[in-house]
Amino acid sequence: CCPGRDAACFARGWRLDRVYGTCFCDQACRLTGDCCFDYARACPARPCIVGEWSPWSGCADQCKPAARVRRRPVQQEPRNGGAPCPPLEERAGCLDYSTARGQDCGHSFVPAFITTSAFNKERTRHATSPQWSTDTEDTGYCMEFKTESLTHHCATENRPLTRWMQYLREGYTVCVDCQPPAMNSESLRCSGDGLDSDGNQTLHWQAIGNPRCQGTWKKVRRVDQCSCPAVHSFIFI
């Protein structure tokens, strides 16, 4: 059994197409149709097998939009035409709100940095912002916006952890949740929340994970709880 295309990997005998003569035992014979009759038994296909995902890494940079990464190992390489390996690395946007020395940071950005609301299930407020304590009132709030414009880069995102950007559309009402650690522990607000806007002001937003996916929206209202569909629900980050 030979990987790839190997003209030296041949024998004399019956082929799978019922022709007697030179037959091959290389991986490419499945495509060319000249495998030896017993190829499937002698060279069974073995799919790629991968292990579990590693924990997410920390943000690559502190106090500014960056990326986190996780990887998984290959436990068995594909052989004899077996299924190829799935992606071995995933990246997602993130923003750290404290320096290595524990100083609060990351709240000075003017645009609203957003990501999918699913990320809120993973992040932990105490790990990212030392300013929050267990007795802090941190129920948060939700901002509703109507999208005005966005770049075409949002619709072309097809990576597993950035696919949520495809659901950003002009003219739709979206919900953006403000929760710690994105919420400043003193002002109890999220950067770029547009809370002071009268509703006619054009505000800017940017998707974490792809800086080219950005656009504008206008404030609709502030509510206690978000009630938009899941695909139109995001969080400040």
Q: Does the pLDDT of residue 92 top 50, yes or no?
A: yes
Is the confidence at residue 220, as pLDDT, over 90?
Answer: yes
Residue 187 in this model has a pLDDT that exceeds 50: yes
pLDDT higher than 50, residue 126? no
Contacts 24+ apart (CB under 8 A), 35-42: 36/11, 37/13, 42/1
Mean pLDDT of 147-165: 87
Distance CA 9, CA 2 (A): 6
Q: What CA–CA distances, in Å, run from 179 to 117, 141, 154?
A: 11, 7, 24
Q: With a threshold of 0.95, does the pTM exceed it?
A: no
Instruction: Tell me the Ramachandran region of residue 145: left when phi exceeds 0, alpha when psi lies from -120 to 50, beta otherwise.
Output: beta
Q: How far is CA 73 from CA 50, 54, 83, 159, in A?
A: 6, 9, 16, 19
Q: What pLDDT shows up at residue 55?
A: 92
CATH 2.20.100.10 fits 49-94, yes or no: yes
What distance in Å separates the CA atoms of residue 185 and residue 129, rounded to the nearest whole number? 9
Please report the pLDDT score of residue 127 as a whole number.
Answer: 45
At 78-90, the pLDDT tens digits run 887 789 999 999 8
Reported confidence tier of residue 65, pLDDT bands at 50, 70, 90: low
Q: How many Å separate Cα 179 from the centre of its chain?
A: 20
Residue 183 has pLDDT above 70, yes or no: yes
pLDDT band (50, 70, 90) for residue 104: low
Among 153, 170, 162, 64, smallest CA distance to 119 is for 162
| Weakest-pLDDT range from 85-89, 95-99, 156-160, 200-204 | 95-99
